[in-house]
Structure 1
Amino acid sequence: DLSKQVNPLFDKFQLGAPSYAVGIAAIKDSATIGSYLRMKEIRRLLPADLQFVKFVWERPAEGSEIVELYALKSNREMEPRISGDVVSDARDDFDLGGKPAVSMTMNTKGAKEWEKLTGDAYNNQTGIAIVLDNKVYTAPGVSSGPISGGRSEITGKFTVNETKDISNVLRAGKLPASAEIIQSEIVGPSLGQEAIDSGFASFLIAMLFVLLWMIFYYGKAGIFADIALMLNILLIFGVLTSLGAVLTLPGIAGIVLTIGMSVDANVLIFERIKEELAKGKGKSQAVADGFSNALSSILDANITTGLTAIILFVFGSGPIKGFATTLLIGIITSLFTAIFITRLLVDWYLSGRTRRLDFTTSLTKNLFKNINIDFLGKRKIAYIFSTTLVLIGLYSLFFGQGLQQGVDFVGGRTYQIRFENEVNPSEIASELNTVFGSGTGVKTYGEANQIKVTTPYKVDVEGIEVDNEIQDKLFTTLQKLLPDGMTKADFITGDGENSIGILQSVKVGPTIADDIKNNAFLAIIGSLAVVFLYILLRFRKWQFSLGAVVAVLHDVLIVLGIFSLFGKIMPFNMEIDQAFIAAILTVIGYSLNDTVVVFDRIREIINEKGWKAGENTNLALNSTLGRTLNTSLTTLVVLLAIFIFGGESLRGFMFAMIIGIVVGTYSSLFIATPVMYDTLKKSVSSPVKEKPKSMAKAKA
């Protein structure tokens, strides 16, 4: 019976609208209707005046569940009669009745065409659509005939915010290219609060340990270092707040590296003061000489890291720029607090004649004293060990399972979804691949009742229609695993009972994915080149530069190899994403900082005591061992606390940094210095001091 058959288009689409739109539909049906209207068979059934128009949905109002569809007429090339480049100005205003309106001014060329267009619209009683990024923002009619002079006022039932949006759209039309969302991220309120709570708790635990450790190791002097460290963190957050910055994972990485460098600066100063005290100098003189002698190492380490941060800021993309910005701020505040605030507090305390400041405690007084490890004698073992690790990692990277590239590098959409009970990711993957096509991946994310879904489905298509379509299909497919009575709205926002549903979603276009990879590569190569040149200028020997760069490459390759080997074994997410790039950058920064401090000490001792076939190089390494282990331990504790207590989203990120810090500490002692030594030893010999001429004559 034909009378009972349902038209698939008009079952979802209602003709007619109070405005100049063709009709209205529910937002959830807009993608389906759009697919119908793109069919040639459907087009041929439309009235003649609608067969060659462009159908465009309006930008729906906030909270609205329906959306209007407009039929836009243009020339044969489907280009509008007037583009935004003729708009010289647009601003939100109020009409004579005091209601929100938009005033618009056009240039001479636009004014002439605008007069013709408004005349046609008035005669045909049609509207003029204002469109940006394939969305109709408004479609006003013409109430008083052709508009000449290029000045117009758009009125209607607008709110103030809507007039601001429309004026922004008109001004945006002056840009040479249209705006396109190439990357977006939505975090649900429940996940956001969980991340804040876990991140804050882990940071407090880590900081508490660092503060207590400094007091345990350095006694009263540790209290002064703690005050400087807390002021440093306060200054960092103060500057970030004043800049309106949003703290992300790369930003956290920058702060962690800054904390390590701030602690390192104080450790360097205190260790040098202890050396001066051991020489029998008075407290005031030892403090002055200790700060003076440590300054060179502190500046070299911070300048190399700062140069790296500048290169990352210039060549990096958004997340890498965020890391670089935080790091640059941290370097400046660390130098200020360590060099000036700590010195101010120490001098103030020693100004009291009866006060005693030993820079040690009874338990740590003899730690790392009289150590004589033959680091260079063990370099061949280190070479074999490191080469083996690097080769295994390279084999896994190029011939094994390789790295698990996240959506940041391949493009697509990813959804973090939580269920009430445990689920089987393999079964869900099978069902979703049927719905979305091949390429959709599902894996457990943290707890067994939580999954991450990644799909390349319609990654090139932008708009709310596609987002709604994917959410509809996810809800329909997964509904049997959700609590009874759960609505689609609760599922999408993750606002159901016990935070069930989509907790987080990320969309990355294929273009930005390529940009992220290219920018990350350029940033890392550029930073290594600049550091090589700086160390060459500072130490005047290319062998020092080579040792530092080889150590950094060694550290990065081992971290990549471990992620390749254990990416599918570890019980936490080990995808390669923008946060991982930030972790690698932190490893580079830490490795350089550690290596430069060691090199600075080697240069000082060799200049003072001579080469002696590497004997004094070993002496320099042993003298910095206390500082190296102290800084590494405090930084590792911060990372471990965040790794354990910081939540699932931070674990892979923190794991990369933990591996990097451990490997970076090892490489500064067993890779950077031995490489420098082996390439330098043939061209260096111990200087022979000449006897004074007066003594030579006396003996003669």
Structure 2
Amino acid sequence: VSIVPVGKDRLAVDIPHREGGEKEQIIDEKTINTIREQLQKSAILNLYLTHEQNSQDTINRINGGDFVLNSQIVEFDENTDRGSKDRPGGPDKLLLQDEVLIKGSDVTNASAQLESAGWVINIKFKGEGSDTLYDVSNKYKGDGRTQMAILLDGKIISAAVFNGAIPGGNCQISGNFTENEAKSLAVSMRNPLGVQPNIIFEESFPPTLAKAAIDQGIRAGLLGIALTALFMMIFYRFAGFIALIGLTVNIILLFGILAIFKADFTLAGIAGVILTIGIAIDANVLIYERLREERATGKGVVASIQAAYEKAFSAIFDAQITTLITAFVLLWLAEGAIQGFAVTLTIGIIVSLFSALLVTRVCYNWLKGINPKLKFTPVLSKKNINFLGLTKKTRLLSILLILVSIGWLGYKGGDSLGIEFAGGQQLRFNATQGTTQDQIDELVNDNRSEGSKVPQIQKLTPIGQDKTIFSVRVSDTDGETVKDALNSSGLADGQIQSQQIRSQVAGEMLTTSVIALLAGLVAIFLYITFRFEFSFAMGAIIALVHDLVIVIGITVLCGLELNLILVGAFLTIAGYSINDTIVVFDRIREGLKTQRGAQDAVMNNAINSTLTRTILTSVTTLLTVFALYLFGGPSLRDFSFAIIIGVLVGTYSSIFVASPVVAFWAKWKKINLRREILDAEQETVESAATTN
């Protein structure tokens, strides 16, 4: 059982299925009910003294309208001897003082014990609680009238007179406890929450359903790896083979680390693995494009390899760090599946740096003796496109896309939010033989009210079984109507499980998601400002906002509703987009330091120099994500669709938005970028010399 804090005042409890012989079994409903009851016990334990006027007559008079100062009437718990109607053993209520004698927070230990009279609970108090217990018991010992009542969650579970002083803070509760009740109460007393917990959302997943979804994700991942491997071999030949060795080590290390930390293998984790593959390939493409350039100058293989790794390092490092920033933001703010995705992505980025910069380099060092001939498939001929000269046209296109996106989001308003953010109900059921997706779609849509949220309908056929399971998420207003329609239609086989998605949870999810996006943008902006000049930071953040606005707008325009999995996709897109932009910026800074000529000419040359890398990286990433979209099942389809749009928009913005913004900002503020870069480099050299 996994218990994870969510926000400030919520917990997420995951209860896995257990293995049962050859077949997997779900924990039985009785056990689930026991866990539900345990979770909702606050175990607020307090001790009170009976009021000096405690009697049945006084209680009757108070019930009749009389008032007794500093008193309260409290009932016995129905499970105690006196509280049970079947076992009357005295009054079912007591008149207690209204001031707490000893608080439950003073409990240091509680344990269940079997004695001749039945199960009892032994309690030990600490400090002030122990002293108070001794003083009071010593004062009232032997008076035969004053009782100490022990209240658990507002009900009396034990009340007794003091036969003598109680030293050491030890106390015993006796009652009509079963073994499970006594042990459960003891656990609750040792870990009192102090408040009354409520279950605000509950969801169940049959193991066969989860297995089917995960198997689909694995198949998609394997296909993505195969396509990427083929692509690398075609374009980089022998060097592509070396890259595949690094990628293999990458995947082995990634799964090994996940296994060491006993991380759960989930759909979100599979998405993280597939994205890690794209990141690893990008690092290799950066190195190999540098290698292609070095070989074109006539350098030998060994010298070209060394120069390629040295020149590609800064771009790889900065690109990976910015993606790592988005992963850290997700780890910090996200919940559930998205946090699992962030864990996988974080480990994957670190492992990718190791495999791309060290493993592949070691492979080349081993091959020095045979002096391999490195040949590459040509992608683009010598390029000299005036990208900055196209700024006016691309600016109009970007403004148009942004206006359409913002306008559509404004038009949709709250309707653009999925049920996870808006609240609703989830229905899960086995479908009768022969039921189709179209039948369920038609029935659900025919029974939804006008203006309600678009239903989310998922269909999965568990592996090894003939039955089909449907999961339907609808608005609160449609929940009962759709459920009744399913029952009367004969499309549902057996009971329909219904869980509420509370608006409280939905609102918190939405707030957290917005904060995560904003925190990611701020963190990336700060890092780019630190590593580059402010002009580059402005270009990067404007391009990033440009990408996110357009991607969010297009996803909603295409009929998707915003949910948690899409928030994870948007942050991933932010990392990918900034990755692309940094590669171009790194080449611009290098050009301004080493090349003569106008600033715009150097920028154009930098964009042209990285164009092959940009195209190849986009294609390899799209191959893996397309595999996820086509074969990853409905659980990952929205995520992969958003990533596909993000890759396309991010590629466009790294060429046509980020660099033009840098050029515009520098001209507007009359900034000499070449001088800024050279001065910053000189300061770094002088600082290093002073330190040494």
Query: C-alpha separation between the residues in 1 aligned to 2:157 and 2:97?
Result: 21
Q: Say whether residues 1:228 and 2:246 are aligned partners.
A: yes
> Counterpart in 1 of 2:488?
480
Change over 3 Å in CA distance of 1:304–1:440 after alignment to 2: closer
Supply the distance in 2 between the matched residues of 1:171 and 1:324 (Cα, whole angstroms).
34
Secondary structure of 2:105's counterpart equals helix
Residue 644 of structure 2 corresponds to 658
The equivalences for 1:277-676 within 5 A come to 277-348=295-366, 350-353=367-370, 355-360=371-376, 364=377, 366-400=378-412, 403-420=415-432, 421-422=435-436, 423=439, 428=444, 442=455, 444-445=457-458, 450=470, 452-456=472-476, 478-482=486-490, 486-488=493-495, 491-492=496-497, 507-540=500-533, 542-567=534-559, 574-676=560-662
Q: Could you tell me how far 1:392 is from its partner in structure 2? A: 0.8
- CA distance in 2 between counterparts of 1:389 and 1:634 reads 26
Secondary structure of the structure 1 residue equivalent to 2:203: strand
Map of 2:464 onto structure 1? none
Which residue pairs with 1:169 in the alignment?
188
CA distance in 2, matches of 1:48, 1:444: 58
Instruction: Give me the TM-score of the superposition, normalised by structure 1.
Output: 0.72
Give, in angstroms, the shift of residue 263 of structure 1: 0.8
Larger deviation, residues 473-482 vs 294-303: 473-482
Distance 1:600 1:84 in 2: 61
> Residue 669 of structure 1: CA displacement?
0.7
SS state at 1:104 partner: strand
What is the distance in 1 between the residues matched to 2:100 and 2:92? 9
Q: Which amino acid aligns with 2:648?
A: V
Distance 1:217 1:127, change over 3 A: farther
Query: 1:233-267: per-residue Cα shift (whole Å, max 9, x none)?
Result: 23223323333333455544443332222111111
- CA gap 1:631/1:125 in 2 versus in 1, 3 angstroms: same
- CA distance, structure 2, for counterparts of residue 537 and residue 264 of structure 1: 23
> After superposition, what is the alpha-carbon deviation per residue over 1:268-324, rounded to whole angstroms, capped at 9, x for unaligned?
111112211222222111111111111111111112222333344334455554444
- In structure 2, relative to structure 1, the CA distance for the partners of 1:418 and 1:550 (3 Å cut) is farther
CA distance in 2, matches of 1:340, 1:57: 69
Residue type of the alignment partner of 2:603 = T
Where structure 1 has 5 or more consecutive residues not aligned to the other structure, the ranges are 1-26, 32-46, 59-70, 459-469, 493-501, 568-573, 688-700
| Preserved contact between residue 666 and residue 673 of structure 2 (Cα < 8 Å) | no
How far apart are 1:157 and its partner, in Å?
4.4
CA shift in 2, pair 1:403/1:663, >3 Å = farther
User: Relative contact order (alpha carbons < 8 A, sep ≥ 6): 1 or 2 greater?
Assistant: 1
What is the identity, as a one-letter code, of the residue corresponding to 1:454? V
Q: How does 1:33-182 map to 2 (within 5 A)?
A: 84-90=104-110, 103-111=122-130, 112=132, 130-131=152-153, 148-149=166-167, 150-152=169-171, 157-158=178-179, 165-173=184-192, 175=193, 177-182=195-200
Distance 2:173 2:161 in 1: 11
Residue 616 of structure 1: SS of its match in structure 2?
Answer: helix
Query: Is the CA contact 1:317–1:520 (under 8 Å) kept in the aligned structure 2?
Result: no
- The answer to whether the 8 A contact 1:632-1:661 is kept is yes
Task: Report the Cα distance in structure 2 between the residues aligned to 1:332 and 1:127, rounded to whole angstroms.
Answer: 59
Gaps of 5+ in 2: 1-32, 38-58, 64-72, 80-90, 461-467, 676-692
Deviation, 1:432, is 8.1
Q: How does 1:240-251 map to 2 (within 5 A)?
A: 240-248=258-266, 250-251=268-269
Separation in 2 of the partners of 1:168 and 1:678? 66
- The CA distance in 2 between the partners of 1:632 and 1:77, in whole Å, is 73
User: What does residue 683 of structure 1 align with?
Assistant: 671
SS of the equivalent of 1:186 reads coil
Alignment correspondent of 1:212? 230
How far apart are the structure 2 equivalents of 1:315 and 1:393? Answer: 26
The structure-2 alpha-carbon separation of the partners of 1:289 and 1:565, relative to structure 1 and needing over 3 Å to count, comes to: same
Rounded to whole Å, the distance in 1 between the matches of 2:76 and 2:491 is 39
Partner SS, residue 108 of structure 2: strand
Determine the C-alpha separation between the residues in 1 that align with 2:233 and 2:99: 71
Report the Cα distance in structure 2 between the residues aligned to 1:119 and 1:372, rounded to whole angstroms: 99
Q: Aligned pair in 2 of structure 1 residues 88, 589: CA closer, same or farther (>3 Å)?
A: same
- Which residue in 2 is equivalent to 1:495? none
Q: Closer, same or farther in 2 for the Cα pair 1:144/1:199, shift >3 Å?
A: farther
Please state whether the residue corresponding to 1:683 is helix, strand or coil.
Answer: coil
CA distance in 2, matches of 1:273, 1:73: 86
Distance 1:427 1:212, change over 3 A: closer
Query: Which position in structure 2 is the counterpart of 1:498?
Result: none
Label 1:102 to 1:376 Cα distance change in 2 as closer, same or farther (>3 A).
farther
Partners of 1:551 and 1:251 in 2: CA distance: 28
Asked if structure 2 preserves the Cα contact closer than 8 Å seen for 1:250 and 1:320, the reply is: yes
Aligned residues: 579
CA RMSD of aligned residues (A): 4.4
Contact 1:611–1:684 at 8 Å: present in 2 too?
no
Q: CA deviation at 1:100?
A: 9.4
Deviates more, 1:182-191 or 1:620-629: 182-191
What is the rounded CA distance, in whole Å, between the counterparts of 1:57 and 1:556 in structure 2?
Answer: 58
Rounded to whole Å, the distance in 1 between the matches of 2:97 and 2:603 is 74
Q: What secondary structure, in the 3-state scheme, does the structure 1 residue paired with 2:217 have?
A: helix
**Alpha-carbon distance change, 432 to 629 in structure 1, aligned in 2, over 3 angstroms:** closer
Shift in CA distance, 476/370, structure 1 to aligned 2, threshold 3 Å: closer
Change (3 A) 1:74 1:282: farther
Q: How far, CA to CA, are the matches of 2:469 and 2:350 in structure 1? A: 44
Indicate the residue corresponding to 1:22 in structure 2.
Answer: none
Deviations 1:181-224 (A, max 9, x none): 45543212232122122111111111111122212221122122
The whole-number CA distance in structure 2 between the counterparts of 1:221 and 1:101 is 73
CA–CA distance in structure 2, aligned partners of residues 324 and 296 of structure 1: 24
Report the Cα distance in structure 2 between the residues aligned to 1:322 and 1:119, rounded to whole angstroms.
58
AA of the residue aligned to 1:408: E
Matched residue type, 2:395? Y
Aligned mates of 1:311, 1:332 — CA distance in 2 = 16
1:655 deviates by 1.0
Asked if structure 2 preserves the Cα contact closer than 8 Å seen for 1:640 and 1:658, the reply is: yes
Structure 2 CA distance for partners of 1:222 and 1:519, relative to 1, 3 Å: same
CA deviations over 1:16-51 (Å, ceiling 9, x no partner): xxxxxxxxxxx9xx99xxxxxxxxxxxxxxx98999
| Cα offset, 1:517, TM superposition | 2.3
Q: CA deviation at 1:164?
A: 6.3
Q: 1:158 corresponds to which letter in structure 2?
A: E
